[in-house]
Structure 1
């Protein structure tokens, strides 16, 4: 027994030594390699329209198998309707676009409900306008039902667009509506999309889903989508019934609103990509960038904006407190290739934005 333990200890020591030796050897070799100086912008990529046309012409495969798969999902429609009536929210996940499947379900099985659709794959969505639309639709249903039942209409009330979100949600939850069979189904394509991904919007959607007159059917595609919700939102407010429904369908509609990595961006796409980067920066950094952009648009014949002048205007507008602060913003701009430097004819360094005039105008519109 002692001999066995001794041999085992020697074996483990050798394993540990071998692991340590390989680790430090890898670190030594890794540190000796030269870092690449190439950038993503150096890649020779194709035109965006050409790439989109090529992807549109890709021939679909396994059509019969996919059709059988979709028909299997369609057989679940009665079950899905029953679960909605029981107060569950339906959450569809899996590989492939689920837009056509959910819309077919809504048109085929939710005919007795009013349906409102949110396209979460869009870049920006006004959640209050959605809630106002739901409230107005419920109010129309209520008036129609009372007119048919007794001939009396509800009393006039404050316009919904003048109400707060809390009042709108309270109305949808039934505090002013007695008829429990007045129900609206909310369909949300890509509830994890960029226009709905912030915490405040998700909280409002969760409160909507818990309203007595609202039922929700949604889809997710991002692998980290469940991180958007806490335990209360998942089990109490959304009350999700999860369905794995891979469709293997291409994201044709959803993909129109996202840049193609392998393609040269056109004017609108370049402005949109730059806007996405700027929106991740602080408001003061965005303000400094606006000063530079406005100067470049108003002085098209100049080589750029002098750094001293940018600092003076930024300080007057309380966007920076020192040259160090301005330099930190400029470093961030340069790292993202939003701003570049070149030498003016009088010898001083000037800053310029490497975008065409029309693209720069679109960018200012995006961030404003």
Structure 2
């Protein structure tokens, strides 16, 4: 058979491969070959550069997002509903389930429990733990199990490990007890401790407990030791739903996403500056300018890409004495008393930090990133 000749001038794929200098190997060799030839630098944009939103705009955009691709998302959920029978079988065989993927998984897992698994386990008590609630405590979970599942009305033991031991003993003595425990966001802020994960793993290891959980951060299992992995006995299921995290984010300010913990947009700073005099506003403007200048002098040429994310700290701090002298020379303040009074307002509202260095001299700095400070300058002082 005659081997066909390749016309490289007409073959778009080969031309594209020559331009990109990619070999397009199959398998893992192709992946590493293509990654090695990429010269693209990661983006330097941050959430601080995003436009400011009020809560009315946030709600409007959230509703629009929920309506987009609504039909496709529902078809995806129907596909996962076909797996309910498989999940039921795995739980009945003694395994525990963990669900991961993009999007809220809370409603889908609740639907599985209410419509499929709980009817298959008559008499079982179902408990739901919301790990996204930052106020949740281990004693709350243990007392729920004692009162709801075991019917124990005695007060909780002084030590958590004693209470956990009593729970295990009660389950061992009554083999007819059944409990279904669902943990939404096992990687949540309230559950992200070694003690809490150890407690959950020991509860999951009880034979009469059917344990299910959802997870959004796949790095969470790195913090589990071999004993926790053995106790959890997980089967993993990817249920990417693309549903909104509106309920999970209800305990935090969604407009503060990606910003410093001490800085949520410019709304708080606007409120503080609006109640101050013109000299006080100029003082804060000068402080930000001096802070940016200090950072620019310290950041090397190779780290310019990281400049926007550089945050004010003691490393880039200003000497309070020198800053006071500069304010005097620019007629922003007339005395040290008024200077410290205005500065105290900024410190109280966490707009700047006042401390001492290793030599005992007073220093101050703005604890925001460069992007946040530049945005504040543009919106408030330009």
Question: TM-score, normalised on structure 2?
Answer: 0.54
**1:173–1:213 CA contact under 8 A, matched in 2:** no
Deviation at 1:232, TM superposition (A): 2.4
Inter-partner Cα distance in structure 1 for 2:171 and 2:177: 12
Inter-partner Cα distance in structure 2 for 1:198 and 1:99: 22
Any stretches of 5+ residues in structure 1 without a counterpart?
1-25, 27-35, 141-156, 277-299, 304-329, 336-340, 358-368
Which moved further from structure 2: 166-175 or 96-105? 166-175
Deviation at 1:90, TM superposition (A): 0.5
Deviation at 1:92, TM superposition (A): 0.3
Q: In structure 1, what is the equivalent of residue 220 of structure 2?
A: 225
Q: In structure 1, what is the equivalent of residue 262 of structure 2?
A: 274
Inter-partner Cα distance in structure 1 for 2:220 and 2:108: 20
Residue in structure 1 matching 2:182, options 181, 187, 200: 187
Per-residue CA deviations over 1:212-258 (Å, capped at 9, x if unaligned) read 33221100011322223123212x11111111111121212112233
Deviation at 1:117, TM superposition (A): 0.8
The answer to whether structure 1 residue 134 and structure 2 residue 145 are counterparts is: yes
SS in structure 1 opposite 2:336?
coil
The answer to whether structure 1 residue 74 and structure 2 residue 78 are counterparts is: no
Residue in structure 1 matching 2:128, options 117, 126, 129: 117
Q: In structure 1, what is the equivalent of residue 344 of structure 2?
A: 352
Per-residue CA deviations over 1:320-363 (Å, capped at 9, x if unaligned) read xxxxxxxxxx956998xxxxx98775326634354888xxxxxx
Give RMSD over aligned pairs.
4.0
Deviation at 1:41, TM superposition (A): 6.3
Q: In structure 1, what is the equivalent of residue 52 of structure 2?
A: 45
SS in structure 1 opposite 2:136?
coil
Inter-partner Cα distance in structure 2 for 1:230 and 1:119: 23
Inter-partner Cα distance in structure 1 for 2:153 and 2:70: 53
Residue in structure 2 matching 1:205, options 200, 209, 212: 200
**1:136–1:160 CA contact under 8 A, matched in 2:** no
**2:99–2:105 CA contact under 8 A, matched in 1:** yes
Q: In structure 1, what is the equivalent of residue 93 of structure 2?
A: 86
Per-residue CA deviations over 1:130-168 (Å, capped at 9, x if unaligned) read 11111222222xxxxxxxxxxxxxxxx882423532222
Residue in structure 1 matching 2:159, options 161, 164, 169: 164
**1:121–1:193 CA contact under 8 A, matched in 2:** yes
* Count of residue correspondences: 247
**1:172–1:213 CA contact under 8 A, matched in 2:** no
Inter-partner Cα distance in structure 2 for 1:332 and 1:213: 54
Q: In structure 2, what is the equivalent of residue 241 of structure 1?
A: 235
Deviation at 1:107, TM superposition (A): 1.2
Matches within 5 A, 1:144-163: 159-163=154-158
Any stretches of 5+ residues in structure 2 without a counterpart?
1-38, 265-275, 281-311, 318-322, 328-332, 350-382
Change (3 A) 1:46 1:135: same
Change (3 A) 1:84 1:172: farther
Change (3 A) 1:107 1:59: closer
SS in structure 1 opposite 2:58?
helix
**1:95–1:247 CA contact under 8 A, matched in 2:** yes
SS in structure 2 opposite 1:162?
coil
Inter-partner Cα distance in structure 2 for 1:263 and 1:355: 23
**2:157–2:163 CA contact under 8 A, matched in 1:** no
SS in structure 2 opposite 1:205?
helix
